[in-house]
Amino acid sequence: MWSLTGITTLVGFLVTVQLTSRPPSTASGLSSYIDLRTQVSELNQEHQLLEQQIAKANSQVSEYRAAAGHGTDMMQALEQDATTVAKEAGLTPVSGPGITIQIQYDPNLPFDEQTAGLFDQISDQEIGLIVNDLFANGASAISINGQRLVTTSSIRLVSGLSGNGTLQVNTVPVTSPYIITAVGDINRMQAILTLNNTVQELNIMQEQCLITPHPSPKGVTVPGYQGPLPGSFAKEVH
């Protein structure tokens, strides 16, 4: 009796260990891997940005120290800082290697009753996701139909009295074809679009999506931001 009890207990313990130690499914494992890889990529990008900011601050301190007591040198240093700030704020045009993404309705694509025409209802969300993915994966400057995206930019779908929606970028109406221009790391930008099946998702909504790389040193140009800046309407109160 005691032997039988011991054997039964041992078998139960082995079955429990096998069930609790079973490896996760391939799908969940792949999803976790992609999530971790994305987090690592974002942290690396943030680390690089912080290193650049530290190096830039150190460079400015060195310039100010070198220009101390020399009015002309100090003015040149300040003007150079103003130029740098304007570039980082998106106020000046940027040219370089990059990609263009053209999105427009294509009636020749397969028709699916559940998804056809859906893009017109969620175009702001779809384009917003694409833009966020590009910025997180190598893009340094982006515009949509010539509208430069900066920290205060908005991408909104505004519905009129007729019920039809109009896409607005920086409160400026834009119409199809929507052309996203991005300066930056071509390989990383194309990789994230492929990973997210961007072309296929737009195709099932009968939207053609053409992604074109421009690898030359002046492959694409993103214009400077022309809209109002924060504080433009502020007035001093005495």
Per residue in 138-190, pLDDT (tens digit) is 999 999 999 999 988 999 999 866 667 899 999 999 999 999 999 999 999 99
Sign of CA dihedral 73, 75, 81, 83: negative
pLDDT, one tens digit per residue, over 36-47 is 666 776 777 777
Distance between CA atoms of 226 and 146, rounded to whole angstroms? 10
Distance between CA atoms of 44 and 51, rounded to whole angstroms? 11
Which pLDDT value is given to residue 22?
A: 47
For residue 216, the tally of other CB atoms under 10 A from its CB is 11
CATH 3.30.70.1880 fits 94-222, yes or no: yes
Residues of the chain short of pLDDT 50, as ranges, are 2, 4, 15, 17, 19-25
Per-domain residue ranges for the chain? 28-88, 94-222
Which pLDDT value is given to residue 118?
A: 94
Which pLDDT value is given to residue 17?
A: 46
Which pLDDT value is given to residue 55?
A: 73
Which pLDDT value is given to residue 52?
A: 74
Which pLDDT value is given to residue 33?
A: 59
